[in-house]
Amino acid sequence: MKKAPTTGGDETPLAIPMKEPLAIKVLGQDVYWLEDRAISNEADRLIVSASPDGTVIFVGQGRTCVSNATNEFAIDNENAYWIVCDAARATALLQKVPLDGSSPSILATISGTVITLTADSTHVYWEQEERRPTPTDTTTSIVRISKAGGLPQVITTEASHDGFSVRAMVVREGQVFFDWSSSLSNRYRIRKVASTGGTPITLSDVINIPADQIVRSIGADSSNVYWSDTTTINSVPISGGSRVILSSLENQANSIAIQDNRLFWVETACCTTGQMGRIKSVPLQGGQVSVVLDGLTAPNGKLAITSTNLYWIEGGAELAREGRGRVRTVSIPSGAITTVASGFLNSARPPFVIVGQSIYVADVGSIKKLPIDGGFPEILYSMGIDQSTVGHINDITSDGSYIYWTEDIASAVRRMSLSGGPVTTLSTATSAHAGKIAVASGSVYWLDDLSTAGYSLRKLPVAGGTLSTIATSIQSPTGLEVDADNAYFAEHDTGDIRKVSVNGGPVTTLYDGTPRDSPSQITQDQTHIYWSNQTQVARVAKTGGGFTFYELVVKDSGQGIAVNDSAVFFVRDDVVWQASPK
């Protein structure tokens, strides 16, 4: 989203795009995250950073592999390290990305699938799997390479016929700690091996576990190794000994992080899809488990920690598709949650309305509030989190005190205060295709696909009252405007612009168009209706009569139109143009 002065001048970006954050790291005051978002035919993953002053930098971009690779990355004061793929998306590459913006380089070409990746001060480590001849027959290796480059070194390798593999790994004080897990064998082991290579030593052997109780995350301090395994949080001395269960009966326990004498982790609170969650903690030596934060939106199992703050990512694979991906933080031991970074998912002209110093945007299944001077949007409302399909806010409008919108799935018309808060459902007597919405003189109007004969124009007092239909058989409407006396709408199938009294009655045609010239958007001032389409930008008086054409035979127009007191603004060939006087 961008803005520019009405008198002309430079564009100002207002918000960044954002889809699904996958992993998070903190370096000094800056937060880095790996993001799943297609930005071109060649790249669908990014490394992005955000500074405390709101500056966002796109650090690196790359391709994912057809065979799923790790979502992890590593970072130091000079470079980020991650897995990308070659042009065929078949071969994994370990790439070093300078943080200063200079060109990245390839440290290693990797055979097999990379499952996890980590680093210490001098080397990058990864686990790679080669499956043959069946999916349960694997050769698993832990490999490292100097950050300065050179030849990869295999630290340990092992063949398995029972589906064993490494799911998590951490390096500390010359030792690599990792799991050796198999859902087929209902068993996992916590192991260690010297970072220079050698024979692995088993620290803990956990047997007779449910098939899905695999190791999710692992960490270590100078005394113990800690891990999560879906339902429990555990520790064992780094020299070996008895497994200690620090917390049990967890629900999808995931990423763990250590700060001082406490262990923190993310868990799912409601369901296996990971759509709601919480962050919990426990003393390293065991004791009372505490809920640090609850009711988080799909925290996605990734957690980072500093001496003062917890950082996590939200959205997950499901809810990120509804525009709910973001990066957040909270001070420890307690403090207010703040958003480190957020953006917009919908890049295809999402509906929005400007009220005062804020922009309200319908971003797929969420309503977001953005300062008019730009920044990170705040999520005011999101559709239900347990939907099996992606929900959409179809349109949005405002009367200066509330925002109103239509949404699918729940087939509802709702409203909410400009500052957020409780949501009022005005009507559920709609179809899933309830679309354009407008509000005027104490009533809300929307276009609804209620029958095969076409759309209907519905009216409802915002304070409550009788729902009425004031027009029917509207053919594929593309725009709706309402004033104190009339409603105006455009039809795609006929190309017409029409009006009807807000009290119902005969429908009048203001502009008799053709399907080829069908308006894609309309807007209004006190006296005229304005429209744009592929061939023209024009206006017609609300009382009917002659037309004023601002542009004819316009290539790739119809992308948007707006008016102020003196000018008409419209989009042509991805450029915003002005016609003045109007």
What is the Cα Rg of the chain in Å? 28
DSSP string, 268-284: ESS-TT--EEEEEEEET
Please name which of 416, 485, 497, 487 lies closest in space to residue 447, comparing C-alpha atoms: 487
Which of 108-117, 238-247, 377-386 is least confident? 377-386
pLDDT over 60 at 335, yes or no: yes
- H helix or E strand, kind and range, residue 318: helix 316-319
pLDDT bin (cut points 50, 70, 90) of residue 134 is: low
CA dihedral 518, 440, 411, 489 (to 10 degrees): -10
Which pLDDT score, from 0 to 100, does residue 40 have?
Answer: 67
Identify the CATH number of the domain in which residue 533 sits.
2.120.10.30
| Domains in the chain, number | 1
Question: Which of helix, strand or coil describes residue 502?
Answer: coil
Tell whether 126 is covered by a domain: no
Which of 30-34, 165-169, 390-394, 568-572 is least confident? 390-394
Tell whether 193 is covered by a domain: no
Tell whether 509 is covered by a domain: yes
Cα 180 from Cα 162, distance rounded (Å): 11
Give the model confidence (pLDDT) of 57-82 as tens digits: 999 999 988 776 788 999 999 999 99
Which pLDDT score, from 0 to 100, does residue 272 have?
Answer: 45
Which pLDDT score, from 0 to 100, does residue 557 have?
Answer: 58
Between these two residues, 153 and 43, which has the higher pLDDT value? 153
Cα 125 from Cα 143, distance rounded (Å): 6
pLDDT over 60 at 135, yes or no: no
User: Is residue 477 within 8 Å of residue 490, measured between CB atoms?
Assistant: yes
- Quick one: how many helices (H) and strands (E) in the chain? 1, 54
Question: Which of helix, strand or coil describes residue 242?
Answer: coil
Look over the chain and give the mean of its residue pLDDT values, rounded to a whole number.
Answer: 90
Cα 537 from Cα 212, distance rounded (Å): 59
Give the model confidence (pLDDT) of 407-428 as tens digits: 988 789 999 999 999 999 999 9
Burial environment of residue 186 by CB neighbours within 10 A (0 to 12, 13 to 18, 19 or more): middle
Half-sphere exposure of 417 (CA within 13 A, CB side): 4
Task: Summarize the confidence of residues 561-574 as an average pLDDT.
Answer: 89
Cα 215 from Cα 193, distance rounded (Å): 18
Which pLDDT score, from 0 to 100, does residue 273 have?
Answer: 46
Cα 113 from Cα 130, distance rounded (Å): 7
Give the model confidence (pLDDT) of 149-195 as tens digits: 999 999 999 887 666 788 899 999 999 999 988 877 788 999 999 99
User: Is residue 530 within 8 Å of residue 578, measured between CB atoms?
Assistant: no
pLDDT bin (cut points 50, 70, 90) of residue 541 is: very high
Tell whether 156 is covered by a domain: no
Residues 6+ apart with CB under 8 A from 189: 179, 180, 181, 202, 203, 204, 205, 206
pLDDT over 50 at 467, yes or no: yes
Q: Order of strands, edge to edge, in the sheet holding 568-572?
A: 557-563, 568-572, 575-579
pLDDT bin (cut points 50, 70, 90) of residue 252 is: confident
Which residue matches tokens 């937060």? 31
Please name which of 354, 325, 396 lies closest in space to residue 14, comparing C-alpha atoms: 354
Cα 528 from Cα 426, distance rounded (Å): 30
Residues 6+ apart with CB under 8 A from 150: none
Which pLDDT score, from 0 to 100, does residue 383 have?
Answer: 84
Give the model confidence (pLDDT) of 263-290 as tens digits: 999 988 655 444 678 999 999 999 999 9
What is the span of the domain harbouring residue 480?
352-579
Pairing of strands 74-75, 56-62: unpaired
User: Is residue 156 within 8 Å of residue 197, measured between CB atoms?
Assistant: yes
Highest mean pLDDT range out of 271-285, 315-329, 343-357, 436-450?
436-450
Tell whether 456 is covered by a domain: yes
Tell whether 408 is covered by a domain: yes
Give the model confidence (pLDDT) of 512-522 as tens digits: 987 777 788 89
User: Is residue 479 within 8 Å of residue 495, measured between CB atoms?
Assistant: no
Residue 210 pairs in a beta bridge with none
pLDDT over 90 at 302, yes or no: no
Give the model confidence (pLDDT) of 207-243 as tens digits: 888 877 889 999 999 999 999 998 899 999 999 999 9
Provide the residue type at 98 as one letter.
P
User: Is residue 498 within 8 Å of residue 482, measured between CB atoms?
Assistant: no
Tell whether 242 is covered by a domain: no
Which pLDDT score, from 0 to 100, does residue 470 have?
Answer: 96
Cα 240 from Cα 236, distance rounded (Å): 6
Tell whether 164 is covered by a domain: no
Please name which of 180, 154, 159, 185 lies closest in space to residue 168, comparing C-alpha atoms: 180
pLDDT over 70 at 503, yes or no: yes
Cα 300 from Cα 277, distance rounded (Å): 8
